[in-house]
Amino acid sequence: MDAKVEHNGTSLAMESKLEPKLDSPELNGGKKSETPSKVSVAILGSGDYSRSLAGRLVRSGFSVVVGSRDPDRNRRLFPQGAAVTNRRAALSGAGLVFVAIHRENYPALQADRDALAGKILIDVSNNTEIHEGESNAEYLARSFPDSTVVKGFNVLSAWSLSSGLFGGSKEVFICSDDNNARKTVMQLAQDLGFVPVDYGSLRAAREIEAIPLRLLPSWHLALKMFLGVFIIFFLYCLYRVVIFRAITGTNQASHIPVSVMNMTFAGTAITLLCLVYIPGIFAAFTQLYNGTKYKRFPNWLDKWMLARKQLGLLSLLASIVHAFLSFMIWSPSYYARLFEQTATPSGDVKYGKLRWSGETFLLFGALSLFLMTVLGVSSIPSVTNAMNWREFNLVQSKLGWAVLIFAIVHNAVYGAEVFTLPGLFSSYTIAVFQLTLVLPAILVLMKVVISLPCVGSRVDRIRRGWERNKPPSRVAAPEDPQEETSLMS
């Protein structure tokens, strides 16, 4: 759905003369008030959300009247400054009415149908599960056609309203079929300290009501890819380290919790990092094939590109776990060939300092983890917003490829001296560190190809708007000789 999104910024300020104000005569009994405290706002319902909303309104200087089925019992539960009475009395002097009850209780409001007529009803309800069809706000509007229904404030929890701690966005999505009512509620949201977002007509309430019910919608594909890669590496490591050796008579099952998991997280980390940059390469080749940037990418590639940030963060998570597990087992007992070895007169082996391979292995591992952490920090919205495009491109692209190169060197140095030893293939499979280098090697090769001047220049031209099959534009011959001179210069 193409929803109109309008933040409460300059555009709203320019239209302020056309907006119905909260202290306008229409909403305040025909008298122009000087302060927000003169505005009377009614709340129907006496649950947790109603109490939190009443407290927020009172602290913001509004006059609040709560309509409850049992005002005597619920009066003590509301903050000082909020009057609690029956529904009919609460509606008598209010132009703005928060409907803070569940959808199944809407029919109970029919008894006050005449009192609700002509008022702006703000529906704050949510569903228990995502479903297609009519939204709660649309149902409320159909039930009370003489009232104006506005959907909003449903993305805020009772706890965040009462504590003032949001832990995220303070945006409030608002929609209604009545422009004036929508702008009035947006002004109310701003007065309460929120950022109102104009979501258009009341039909958009279907999407707004689905927002609180979504569980990490942008992470679904990335998590599936993470689990797929993790399971593949775990089964591969389990076969090489445990199952095959058990067949040959060696029990290595006790090393599953740390050793096997460490190799699994190592392979998962570098593979996910590759999966961050592969779709960009695919996109470049796709544009080369199409000869234009105006043709949409395939759906699978489009979704993959949108999941790159999440894949990068999951790669960082796997890298951190790999680093901690490696630290726990860092000793010659696990990494003997990375340490200097000398034979004692008794025939034992004495381990000394790290060899060149061990120190180089640790150096590039530390560099890749540190730079990947920088990438993760730069993806935080507040940090991203503080960077211009050149800085963002430097960090996410150039620095990202440096992380991948360092990770490849870290992995290659680890097995450089034993890369072709026959013992690595005893289980009819290649070693884990060899397997993890296959995809990075392919990715680097594709990057080299796309970076060649004859290829990269064509990609740059396409991304600037050039099209292969588009006929070149012709410049009409100027009639004025002076104009002809300027074109030739």
3-state secondary structure of 453: helix
* pLDDT value of residue 143: 96
3-state secondary structure of 473: coil
Query: Phi, psi (5° rounding) for residue 447?
Result: -65, -40
pLDDT at residue 488 above 50?
no
What are the domain boundaries of the chain? 6-213, 217-463
* pLDDT value of residue 160: 83
pLDDT at residue 32 above 50?
no
pLDDT at residue 485 above 70?
no
Mean pLDDT of 128-144: 92
Nearest Cα to Cα of residue 85 among 69, 106, 61 = 69
Looking up tokens 């695919």, which residue turns up? 282
Mean pLDDT of the chain: 87
Nearest Cα to Cα of residue 126 among 108, 109, 101 = 101
pLDDT at residue 480 above 70?
no
Fold of 6-213: Rossmann fold (3.40.50)
pTM for the model stands at: 0.79
What share of the chain in percent tops pLDDT 70? Answer: 87
How far, in Å, CA of 6 to CA of 13, rounded? Answer: 12
How far is C-alpha 57 from the geometric centre of its chain's CA atoms?
A: 30
The answer to whether the CB of 116 falls within 8 A of the CB of 141 is: no
Q: Which two tokens stand for residue 145?
A: 């056609």
Task: Give the tens place of pLDDT for each residue, 44-101.
Answer: 999 999 999 999 999 999 999 999 999 999 999 999 999 999 999 999 989 899 999 9
Cα-only R_g, the chain: 32
The answer to whether the CB of 41 falls within 8 A of the CB of 57 is: yes
Task: Give the tens place of pLDDT for each residue, 260-302.
Answer: 999 999 999 999 999 999 999 999 999 999 999 999 999 999 9
Task: Give the tens place of pLDDT for each residue, 349-405.
Answer: 888 999 999 999 999 999 999 999 999 999 998 899 899 999 999 999 999 999 999
More confident residue, 418 or 99: 99
* pLDDT value of residue 167: 58
Nearest Cα to Cα of residue 255 among 238, 232, 236 = 238
338 Cβ contact partners less than 8 Å away, ≥ 6 residues apart: 332, 354, 355, 357, 358, 361, 414
CB 468: neighbour CB atoms within 10 A? 12
3-state secondary structure of 165: coil
Span 217-463 CATH architecture: Up-down Bundle (1.20)
How far, in Å, CA of 428 to CA of 414, rounded? Answer: 21
DSSP for residue 474? P
Nearest Cα to Cα of residue 22 among 53, 51, 81, 63 = 63
Relative orientation angle of helices 261-290 and 220-238, to the nearest 10 degrees: 130
Nearest Cα to Cα of residue 181 among 246, 235, 216, 137 = 137
pLDDT at residue 348 above 60?
yes
Mean pLDDT of 442-467: 95
